[in-house]
Structure 1
Amino acid sequence: MMDGDRPIVVAYIDGACSGNPGPGGWGVVVLKSDGSFHEISGSSEGSTTNNRMELQAAIELLSRLPANAETFVYADSQYVVKGMTEWLSGWKKNGWRTSAKKEVQNIDLWLRLEALAHNRSIQWHWVRGHDGHAANERADQLAVAAVSR
């Protein structure tokens, strides 16, 4: 989809883990203007957590998009959505510490995601997982299938 010269991207992301920690996978579904999907997925190296795979899905999506894309990201992870929309600025202001003065978990991935999101037009939206939304369900299926790779 395009808005003038600016591409519009609507994407659904998800992460999965077998055990937590354990082997993990991530999935991304990008909706195309003709109603079809573009899908990407991958797996972790070794033991990881579900939250890390959720973040990795977001990183993989943004790393593949043009910087000028108007992007709408849908995730069933409140960790990712609230992290990007509510918590990130406070973490940075507090030296990457939470309001409870603990070090932010997964800081390596948050730093990568923050760098990729910088100066981009991105809207982050939470969707209820396993609620029958086709693109969200497909992102979940891709993430789960990637766990066993």
Structure 2
Amino acid sequence: MKRVELFTDGACLGNPGPGGWAALLRWGGHERMLSGGEPCTTNNRMELTALLQGLKALKEPCEVHLFSDSQYLVKALSEWLPRWQGKGFRGVKNQDLWEAIARELVRHRVVPHWVRGHNGHPENERVDQEARKQALQQKATLFSAQAGKRYT
């Protein structure tokens, strides 16, 4: 099984608000940055989306070492997920994303690692910067759309 490193982060300008996510995949000497955003979301949804999109980008089953500054994400993967699955994810926030992540976990072995955010970890800083960039783009798009409505 191929070993892959996945660095993820989510950002939100307000909670809820315009948000962005980023996932950096690394295997061998290769890297691939994935990112995107949503106009109205939460920080946790962006954290989960980064993980989901990173896992979905893998073409074959992998051992994925996930590095995230989200304690919510790391604790959910390492402690809470089996219990949530056992009760059909009833009452779990972001149920749609957790169900999609659980489907990806059937293909991959994910080993979560928590890293302290904004502490100089190079890859965490990169995904943080990209996620914030995506959130700012969402905000700018919303602002442009609202400004256009006022003047037409």
TM-score norm. by structure 1 comes to 0.85
Out of 105, 119, 127, which is 2:93 matched to?
105
Aligned match of 2:52 in 56, 59, 69?
59
Normalized per residue, which structure has more helix?
Answer: 2
In the alignment, which residue of structure 2 is the partner of 1:47?
40
**Aligned-partner SS, 2:46:** helix
Which letter does structure 2 place at the counterpart of 1:13? T
Following TM superposition, by how much is the alpha carbon of 1:117 offset from its aligned partner in structure 2, in angstroms?
1.1
SS in 2 for 1:148: helix
Q: Aligned AA for 1:61?
A: G
Aligned to 1:85: 78
What CA distance in whole angstroms lies between the structure 2 residues aligned with 1:77 and 1:88? 15
Matched, 1:19 2:14: yes
Tell me, yes or no, if the aligned pair for 2:3 and 2:27 is still in contact at 8 Å: no
Shift of 1:66: 2.6
The letter for the 1-side match of 2:33 is: E
* Residue number among 116, 124, 129 corresponding to 1:141 in the alignment: 129
Deviation at 1:10, TM superposition (A): 0.7
**Aligned to 1:73, what secondary structure does the other structure show?**
strand
Gap runs ≥5 in structure 2: 138-152
Contact kept? 1:32, 1:38, Cα under 8 Å: no
TM value normalised by structure 2 = 0.84
Distance across 1 between alignment mates of 2:88 and 2:23? 31
1:74 matches 2:49: no
Over aligned residue pairs, what C-alpha RMSD do you find? 1.5
Which residue of structure 2 lines up, in the alignment, with residue 38 of structure 1?
Answer: 32
Structure 1 unpaired stretches of 5+: 1-5, 98-102
Q: CA deviation at 1:23?
A: 0.5
Aligned length: 137
- 1:114 and 2:107 are equivalent in the alignment: no
Q: Deviations over 1:46-93 (max 9, x none)?
A: 310000000000000000013321211110011111111110111122
Q: How far apart are 1:29 and its partner, in Å?
A: 1.4
